[in-house]
Structure 1
């Protein structure tokens, strides 16, 4: 009986650790194929494989959009950073020549920021892990 209890105390933590490891998955689970899906959504830290290059949603997020629960004079904007190979680029919405563009060219492809979620509801900072961006990749 004592042997069974000892065995249970040893096996139970091991089973918990194995279950936790399986839950997180591998980094490849977060890679999206943008050659098959030219319009795709990335979560913060996710990567899209676009054939000759890849794009990762990483870096700073500057979000000054007006929360939907308040009335603002200015709608605000949101800027995100994307890692393209060795380069870090910024894309923003709304598209503005003065403040930042919503698209950039990578080789013979155009990458465009279509949407940034969530839209702020109340004033306050949104954690990076909660952001999703919708991108479109198209040929020149």
Structure 2
């Protein structure tokens, strides 16, 4: 992304696109750094703010797989993880669908469940609702899916 430029979530594709990003992604919780990386990939999907997936090597705390699973029509079966005392705070695609191989084993974090998530030092606003887990920053414009009355978009 070009510094100072904004992105509309309505310009993002469906099915979603996965792209590498060098943006600085940090997750903090309970007084500790959970994630600190410049090696994330982001998923961009129509009407959603980006979701950042980080390499497990850049997660500074232990994670524990939980029994929860969900299914995405594009990416496949999601596996959930307890992180830093947060139940199901992160998810991954251990065997992603064709076209989403770059997500294999990468972890995405719900910004609403952690004390602070930042992109290039800017504090993230969680995507409305708690289903999608997008990271909303000042350079992302909407309207954004997730709030009341938007699930049918």
Is TM > 0.5 for Structure 1 vs Structure 2?
A: no
Q: Which has the higher contact order (CA 8 A, sep 6+)?
A: 2
* CA radius of gyration, larger in: 1
* Larger helix share, 1 or 2: 1
Output the TM-score relative to the length of structure 1.
0.26
